Amino acid sequence: EAGVVQSPRYKIIEKKQPVAFWCNPISGHNTLYWYLQNLGQGPELLIRYENEEAVDDSQLPKDRFSAERLKGVDSTLKIQPAELGDSAVYLCASSLVGPPGELFFGEGSRLTVL
């Protein structure tokens, strides 16, 4: 069974540029999460989707971050414009059941903002 797929794995951009990350969850998983992981820290939830509905986006900095999950499958996380402090790993995860339950993480997208 294919796991959660994310792309790109690595992205280097200059500050003020836009960037987008893509996630394909495990087939059949209705719940999708985007997490932010700073170096040496635990993952922090940015947004959670139940199918195509964002049910928890309280930690998403809405002035520069946006996300969508069209058709309730793939999801895209966008940052525009990027700032130096956005350098981190962006993890996507999915789960078969709504929280609380096992999260299946992708490999992550490592962003470096110069």
Partner 1 sequence: GENVEQHPSTLSVQEGDSAVIKCTYSDSASNYFPWYKQELGKRPQLIIDIRSNVGEKKDQRIAVTLNKTAKHFSLHITETQPEDSAVYFCAASIRSRGSGNTGKLIFGQGTTLQVKP
Residues of the shown chain interacting with partner 1 in the complex, contacts defined by CB under 8 A:
3-4, 40-45, 48, 55-56, 58, 91, 98-103, 105-108
Question: 41 vs 80, which CB is nearer to partner 1?
Answer: 41
| Shortest distance, position 32 Cβ to partner 1, whole Å | 14
- What is the 3-state secondary structure of 92-111? EEEECCCCCCCCEECCCEEE
Question: 57 vs 80, which CB is nearer to partner 1?
Answer: 57
* Cβ 24 vs Cβ 93: under 8 Å: no
Question: 61 vs 98, which CB is nearer to partner 1?
Answer: 98
| Shortest distance, position 60 Cβ to partner 1, whole Å | 13
| Shortest distance, position 102 Cβ to partner 1, whole Å | 5
CA–CA gap between residue 75 and residue 71 (Å, rounded): 9
Phi and psi based region of residue 73 (left: phi greater than 0; alpha: psi -120 to 50; beta: remaining): alpha
